[in-house]
Structure 1
């Protein structure tokens, strides 16, 4: 099957030019100023951008948490992703303390196969326990294409790993070429603050914010980087939300430490005023870390512009308001922590970042696609537009207006964090390995098109057919 995309403005992390793109089956086979071939389908992209498909390295489908499970599975979650221009996601098999790493991975493969994703899916491994010889399973994980860990410094008695486990995981990462992701909050301090709030009768969702202060995040970010430095390992801070936390990352990078960090749209576009909503409405915004005071947003945008923040992920972790969030109706600490996000990432960052001049088009592609692909061993098959790369492509109309709403979203969750916000710029065609999976805001892909993708080690290229990343436009 040949598809020809004509006249689009191709935007990668480094390039910006008008050209045609020829796709054959799953792969980009030619890029030129004008391509004259017989094609099964010709897509006119004149006046639009042609972007590499988004890579979201932080989603939670089917995640068990707080006595329930995230509402999106691998079918609905990946459908939501493609509607918003994301064509690769990385999810998190969650190790129970009595389970091995490979046993955990096998279970998640079973869930993935059962759900039939619409786009390609990779896995990180959430680690809670490395006792009883479990470290010996790490080389097998690498062979299986799972080349990153995630550890939690919060949620005592459930997800939280102690310093010994964190250090051992980081040492294993250094030995085997993995990247360790850290949920950085001081869980002990937070637990004390939560107990005090509840004892004083402060039980509503607004107290989620005050019991998870920015300093608790910043202290844990500093600690995570210090432990990683001792282990000689790279470290990646997930969902960074606070200015002081960003300072610790920037200072580490200035000293030559391999420290990376992501932020998420909820920290760029929402602020702590959401916790002033009446009654239980604020529970929609109980995600972790919480939305911060507004002044943190400009610091995060500067971090994105100057590369102290490497990635915008979503931490898509959706729980329905009508029933799941209400598990904490009388105790905010029992509200499942998480919110939706995978569907609107590109639109929000384009509208609030590019159109306002905070970041360039190239930088938008970098933080949404290219850098996550590089950091997590997917580049150059994913994350760029080059001959030999997967035909994961987004044709994006920069002038198309859309109002974000639960009424039009694809995710199963029953609310939209950005309800009523108008955004300018939206995908018109989304392709995953050459197959059109979304068109004009409608998901047209088929469940089962997506497949598990084995990732290379940290910063290593994903092997495959020859890929020319230095392709130039020819006349």
Structure 2
């Protein structure tokens, strides 16, 4: 068959099935066939996935996308993706009702499998005690409820109080350029929160997934916990593997395009630590964390320029996130990404 690439001898895990000793056929960056012993022309590139999990490919690829809660772009935050476009390119309210509403909005709009990452912004007794079984401000309450139900809690590990304090003092000194987004969230902000939530998870004896880890200190906390056989899992993203903070220094406000949280780090040693974490299994998930905002729209990245008294605007007004759908699996042998979605390739013996 006319494949550009064939990945052979892998175990393929989707949302519904598992195939062992299976091949994947890719054409023009899209998977077009899955099956045993796929025939391929001599010109097709072939990768043997057997026994090369750490050296050849990332263990898990997930597009973690932020889309608008409707079928048109979000006018307030100007999120550029709907369920249609986002999946194609890759208050006290009942949790149950919210999930049902989002399923209705997604119906007939999605080009791939999807799941919802539910943020419990107001964990009322009704939600914690009555609704949570069906689906922080009190982290231990959330962990305790999750433990009873066998749920893994996802955690964005940053200390919000420190960030708010740093942002306020940076603004007082007129340090508001997009690059100063990094100064508001130093490494210790992520590392402290990571260590703290690991301690709370150990106290509760419950698993957690620390998402979009960006720095070496937090990576070390995760690895140390894993070496003590705690059920602590990590996720990172391509921007932390390939970009450095200088990308936020670009002129003409271009640096706003690279603002995300946690932020892209300053030192290459953090980038190296992320790569090491991918290779040694500290990170079981590499996610796109896709969060598109229009750059030239006043409610997109340009929102950071709303304060006309400052030449560089205010970094804290700039919407977080950058596009990342389809940047998922990386082939280190050929130094490029394989643009597929939610697919796991492991050796048959795993």
Structure 1 length normalisation: TM-score? 0.59
Report the Cα offset of residue 110 of structure 1. 2.1
Q: 1-side partners of 2:247 and 2:24: how far apart?
A: 45
The one-character-per-residue Cα deviations of 1:250-295 (angstroms, maximum 9, x if unpaired) are 1100111100111101000000111221131110011111110222
Partner of residue 342 from structure 1, selected from 283, 303, 325 = 325
The one-character-per-residue Cα deviations of 1:44-66 (angstroms, maximum 9, x if unpaired) are 68633488997415221216999
Query: How is 1:10-409 mapped onto 2 (pairs within 5 angstroms)?
Result: 10-12=8-10, 31-32=36-37, 47-49=44-46, 55-56=61-62, 58-62=64-68, 67-81=76-90, 97-113=91-107, 116-135=109-128, 136-141=130-135, 161-162=136-137, 164=138, 166-293=139-266, 294-323=268-297, 324-329=300-305, 330-346=313-329, 349-350=330-331, 353-355=332-334, 369-370=343-344
The one-character-per-residue Cα deviations of 1:106-146 (angstroms, maximum 9, x if unpaired) are 221122126x11111122211112213112212321xxxxx
Q: 2-side partners of 1:27 and 1:278: how far apart?
A: 44
Structure 2 length normalisation: TM-score? 0.78
Q: 2-side partners of 1:32 and 1:262: how far apart?
A: 32
With over 3 angstroms needed to count, the CA separation of the structure-2 counterparts of 1:222 and 1:4, relative to structure 1, is same
SS in 2 for 1:133: helix
Q: 1-side partners of 2:5 and 2:214: how far apart?
A: 39
Report the Cα offset of residue 343 of structure 1. 2.8
Q: Structure 1: which 5+ residue stretches go unaligned?
A: 35-42, 82-96, 142-160, 371-382, 386-468, 471-475
The one-character-per-residue Cα deviations of 1:326-347 (angstroms, maximum 9, x if unpaired) are 111122111111110013333x
With over 3 angstroms needed to count, the CA separation of the structure-2 counterparts of 1:16 and 1:6, relative to structure 1, is farther
Q: Structure 2: which 5+ residue stretches go unaligned?
A: 13-18, 26-31, 50-56, 306-312
Q: 2-side partners of 1:7 and 1:203: how far apart?
A: 46
Q: 1-side partners of 2:196 and 2:188: how far apart?
A: 12
Tell whether the 8 Å contact from 1:283 to 1:325 is kept in structure 2 after alignment.
yes
Task: State the Cα RMSD in Å.
Answer: 3.7
With over 3 angstroms needed to count, the CA separation of the structure-2 counterparts of 1:7 and 1:231, relative to structure 1, is closer
Q: 2-side partners of 1:121 and 1:174: how far apart?
A: 24
With over 3 angstroms needed to count, the CA separation of the structure-2 counterparts of 1:131 and 1:253, relative to structure 1, is same
Report the Cα offset of residue 210 of structure 1. 0.7
Q: 2-side partners of 1:32 and 1:219: how far apart?
A: 49
With over 3 angstroms needed to count, the CA separation of the structure-2 counterparts of 1:13 and 1:288, relative to structure 1, is farther
SS in 2 for 1:262: strand
Report the Cα offset of residue 312 of structure 1. 1.0
SS in 1 for 2:197: helix
Tell whether the 8 Å contact from 1:239 to 1:289 is kept in structure 2 after alignment.
yes
Q: 2-side partners of 1:259 and 1:194: how far apart?
A: 30
With over 3 angstroms needed to count, the CA separation of the structure-2 counterparts of 1:222 and 1:253, relative to structure 1, is same
With over 3 angstroms needed to count, the CA separation of the structure-2 counterparts of 1:13 and 1:216, relative to structure 1, is farther
SS in 2 for 1:219: helix
Report the Cα offset of residue 214 of structure 1. 0.9
Tell whether the 8 Å contact from 2:222 to 2:282 is kept in structure 1 after alignment.
yes
Q: 2-side partners of 1:265 and 1:7: how far apart?
A: 22
With over 3 angstroms needed to count, the CA separation of the structure-2 counterparts of 1:62 and 1:18, relative to structure 1, is closer
Tell whether the 8 Å contact from 2:259 to 2:322 is kept in structure 1 after alignment.
yes
Report the Cα offset of residue 7 of structure 1. 10
Tell whether the 8 Å contact from 1:236 to 1:261 is kept in structure 2 after alignment.
yes
SS in 1 for 2:176: coil
Tell whether the 8 Å contact from 1:6 to 1:19 is kept in structure 2 after alignment.
no
Q: 2-side partners of 1:121 and 1:311: how far apart?
A: 16
